[in-house]
Structure 1
Amino acid sequence: MNFRKLLTVAILGATVASCGGARDISGSKEKQAELPTIGELAGPLANVQAKKLFGTKSSGTSQSSAAYGSYAKGCLAGGQQLAETGPTWQAMRLSRNRNWGHPELIDMLQNLSRFAAQQPGWNGIYVGDMSQPRGGPMLTGHRSHQMGLDADIWMLPPTSLNLSAKQRENISSISMRRAAGAYVNDSWTRSHHEIIKAAAKDPRVERIFVFPGAKVQMCDDEKGDRSYLRKIRPWYGHHYHFHVRLACPKGAQGCVNQTPPPAGDGCADARQWQANIINPPKPKPSTKPTTPAKPRRELVLADLPAQCKAVLDAK
């Protein structure tokens, strides 16, 4: 497809189902290294919103598998599609076409699903959003999930792994939170603890995001090895699902990891989150006039790493 036709597709592109208000959990205030960007190599597409280009791609590429860029500014070459249904998992919301990832992510999810199937009340896992076929910014929802190294796993214990495509569009996960996320509710079980713990113990996993009350509960309940708790980070939302993030694969070129989590189990930090929910700190008085925050600028193709142009053009 030539640039003129691709530009037309990019601007008119098809829409994708909403992500239900997903938040950016790309690392927040933690700085990440920057890679050379596409810049002038993108030609007439340089200033087209990247989500309108990557969001219209319905299939992955035949390239070798590689994650380029960072979690909130990157793309995925040679992505693999998680099978819609497996012995111990089902991919949800199939209309979004976001069940793609790096092979390491596919393998990790399948391993976790087999572990989950051994837990009381669980037959496996329901897998929510992963990445688009070629990664990159999404038309709706997440700002991260761009390199094929992120996946959302529903908190809802699967009782059936034979859901139809229509059922997977209409079924919803369940919330685990109480008191605005300061505590877990009665739906939380030891199986939730063990499944999240198993995910964190996978050496490929770099972080897991959950709501603060879940992290505090896990801190209170863990009586054995606590080292894995370091990877479990409290973050806004994440009470209908927990978010697993893999580190860049070993030897990967052009993939940028986040700054590692602080040393220790992170439980004191989680309890501070909890305290701030229960008793929100009073805002500091300011003598400066308040001005509305500027909307976050949408990423354009020129913002992405240089390798993403080849990913976009590849067959």
Structure 2
Amino acid sequence: MKASILRKTAALLLTGVLATMPGNLRAQDAKALFSSKETPFNSESPYAIGQHSRGCLAGGVALPESGPTWQAMRLSRNHYWGHPETIRFVQEVSRAATKVGWNGIYVGDLSQPRGGPVPGHASHQIGLDVDFWLLPPGRLDLSRGDRERISSMNVRSADQRSVNGNWTRSHHRLLEAVARDGRVNRIFITAPVKLQMCADAPARDRAWLGKIRPWWGHNTHFHVRLNCPRGARGCVNPDPVPRGDGCDEAIWWVTEALEPPDPDAPAPKPKPPIRLADLPPQCASVVAAP
């Protein structure tokens, strides 16, 4: 009986037939459920299901731990899984890094084996997000232990208003190359980097800058979000980036956003955990399978 159900699951994902979820499973914390899965959901075809911040992954594949121009970091997290298109993209970015003078690239988190909510991230749920370290690799033969111990490089000044001496022209060239890739929806990076890139980009060619989006905390890595692969059913693309280069809007991040909070303002309410019921129904089959 179980074998028959599992054989039909890929078809359920493709056709969108809703899986039946017991009430107690629907109410469970999705982050706990998905983070407990150490292996991918087997599927004849890969499926990025739902949105980047509300979904899961079927048929995911692992980024090889090491390659000629990359190494996956923090292997103990088991966050180096993605849609096959993402794995190809990572390898292509690593080769692009050699064209700006780096040895390759250190790769941070992608997704969990079956996607879903990830500890430490709001997105990375459908296998189409990837973090790249801003530390140019000194070597690409790091041991598993080395990859747990070393840290990336901070490119933001102490006052959070500008880049520091770690930011280089090669960083700019790499992010620009990634932003020009048609598969890329947007790139999250600390606001001072956005503003420095705005200052350095020529006036005649700035459309790609719109994909460089300021966001909190991204001062040691940049986060690339890919569009849904062509023809992917069940995958929901994020909104396109606003028109323009986004440079004027980025000033807020290093001015008003850094002002002390209003002491009289009410504290924001903590967000409740994402339940399995909050994800697309197909994700119940993905996480429940052995």
**TM-score where L is the length of structure 1:** 0.82
In structure 1, give the amino acid aligned to 2:108: G
> Residues 302-313 of structure 1 correspond to what in structure 2 (within 5 A)?
302-313=277-288
The aligned residue for residue 89 of structure 2 is: 108
> Residues 1-315 of structure 1 correspond to what in structure 2 (within 5 A)?
41-63=21-43, 64-120=45-101, 122-138=102-118, 140-223=119-202, 225-276=205-256, 280=259, 283=262, 291-314=266-289
| Contact 2:19 2:282 (8 Å CA) reproduced | no
**Runs of 5+ consecutive residues of structure 1 not aligned to the other structure:** 3-35
| Contact 1:180 1:277 (8 Å CA) reproduced | no
- How much has 1:249 moved relative to structure 2? 1.3
In structure 2, give the amino acid aligned to 1:275: T
**TM-score where L is the length of structure 2:** 0.89
Distance 1:211 1:239 in 2: 5
- How much has 1:75 moved relative to structure 2? 0.2
Question: How much is the aligned-residue C-alpha RMSD, in angstroms?
Answer: 2.3
Distance 2:261 2:32 in 1: 41
Give CA deviations for 1:94-113 in whole Å, capped at 9, x if unaligned. Answer: 00000001111111111010
Give CA deviations for 1:99-138 in whole Å, capped at 9, x if unaligned. Answer: 0011111111110100102222x11110001100000012
**Runs of 5+ consecutive residues of structure 2 not aligned to the other structure:** 3-15
* Inter-CA distance 217–68: structure 2 relative to 1 (3 Å threshold): same
* Inter-CA distance 291–219: structure 2 relative to 1 (3 Å threshold): closer
More deviation, 150-159/303-312: 303-312
Distance 1:199 1:162 in 2: 25
* Inter-CA distance 94–210: structure 2 relative to 1 (3 Å threshold): same
Distance 1:78 1:261 in 2: 29
- How much has 1:277 moved relative to structure 2? 5.2
| Contact 1:37 1:304 (8 Å CA) reproduced | no
Distance 1:238 1:102 in 2: 23
- How much has 1:255 moved relative to structure 2? 1.4
Q: How many residues align?
A: 275
In structure 2, give the amino acid aligned to 1:175: N
| Contact 2:108 2:131 (8 Å CA) reproduced | yes
Distance 1:297 1:231 in 2: 30
* Inter-CA distance 40–65: structure 2 relative to 1 (3 Å threshold): closer
| Contact 1:153 1:242 (8 Å CA) reproduced | yes
* Inter-CA distance 42–128: structure 2 relative to 1 (3 Å threshold): farther
Distance 2:153 2:123 in 1: 23
Distance 2:64 2:112 in 1: 14
Distance 1:250 1:134 in 2: 21
Identical positions, percent: 53
Match of 1:178, SS state, is coil
| Contact 1:227 1:264 (8 Å CA) reproduced | yes
Distance 1:292 1:282 in 2: 10
Match of 2:205, SS state, is coil
